[in-house]
Amino acid sequence: MKRSDFNYLLPPQLIAQHPLSERSASRLLVLDGAKGAVRHQRFYELPDFLNSNDLLVFNDTRVIPARLWGQKVTGGKVEILIERLTGSHTAVAHIRASKSPRAGSVIHLCETAECDPGPFQLAVTGREGDLFCVSCEGSTALADILRHIGHMPLPPYIEREDDSADQDRYQTVYAAREGAVAAPTAGLHFTEDLLAQIDALGVRRVAVTLHVGAGTFQPVREEDIERHVMHSEFVELSEVVCAAVRETRARGGRVIAVGTTAVRSLESASMATGEIQPFVGDTNIFIYPGYRFHSVDAIVTNFHLPESTLLMLVSAFAGRETIMAAYLKAIEEEYRFFSYGDAMFITSEQKDQS
């Protein structure tokens, strides 16, 4: 298929720049993937579409304050986005500057973009593809430096600086394991009260971990999407999750993935044999139309960027034409799009019974 098959025109004013005051007040477009039927609800009504046989699979990753500002010795300003920590004092990162720093360069870190250098600094030690290897000296670990002066890594389509509210709102209420540099945004709509309502229905909840990387915003540059090189992200999925998936499907329940990261985790753990197995390691699974799902029966997800791999994933689940028609309806109804925007609940008849 072609990248352009997944393009759509989105009015800029529909890109959510701030979260709503209440997480679960977001709108919820309920899409029957088999019939293409659409219903317009609110996210707090999600329990109305669940039953006691269902299993919800969440991604419990926690976003780290991975954006840093810095200044070169020459005075040039630098923006750093940590992609992943590789040790207590080391990481690989994206670095944006007027001129790329060389190995051996020192960057003095600042609390804000205005850059008044403080006591912390990073040394550039080399390259790893498009990423820079960096390290900090002294007794303070890099993770502690991030907690002290790091900023929440808001996506590039949010055209403002992060503020204190983002420390809480760009994080799910169930976030547990630090490592992501982008939020699993479908989970941002859940509140403790909503989770309690879901529990009261008898719906089971389990968690996987996928540390979302900045590669999630990487555009598809090839017109032939099969030539796209997918980024890798770390996944950990336990036998507890596998057993819950098997038990749910055996009793006729649905496995509902909360977010495309949960989808990618479950399907990565099912690729080898078609039967879900524990999985720990990196995945670069690329799901696009024609893919046969093994472990997912429904998806809670936000709206995704045009021509993105995530839009291709949900198109594989419910059909490209069905998804694109639903997106056009969402635009007509002025839904809010992307990370701080509204959500979808997508069901499908596609189910691997092997």
Q: Encode pLDDT of 94-130 as tens digits.
A: 999 999 899 999 999 999 888 888 899 999 999 998 8
The whole model's pTM is what? 0.94
| Fold (CATH) for 67-149 | Thrombin, subunit H (2.40.10)
CB neighbours (10 Å) of residue 350?
A: 16
Look up residue 196 and give its two tokens.
Answer: 């309690």
Which H or E run contains 38?
strand 38-42
CATH 2.40.10-classified regions of the chain: 67-149
CA 30 from chain center: how many Å? 20
CATH 3.40.1780.10-classified regions of the chain: 3-63+168-347
What integer pLDDT is reported at residue 348 of this predicted model?
84
Over residues 39-81, the pLDDT tens digits come to 999 999 999 999 999 999 999 999 999 999 999 988 899 999 9
Residues 3-63+168-347: name the CATH superfamily: QueA-like (3.40.1780.10)
CA 150 from chain center: how many Å? 19
What integer pLDDT is reported at residue 353 of this predicted model?
36
Tokens 């909360």, residue?
Answer: 258
Query: Rounded CA gap, 94 and 111, in Å?
Result: 18
Closest CA to 111 of 148, 84, 65: 148
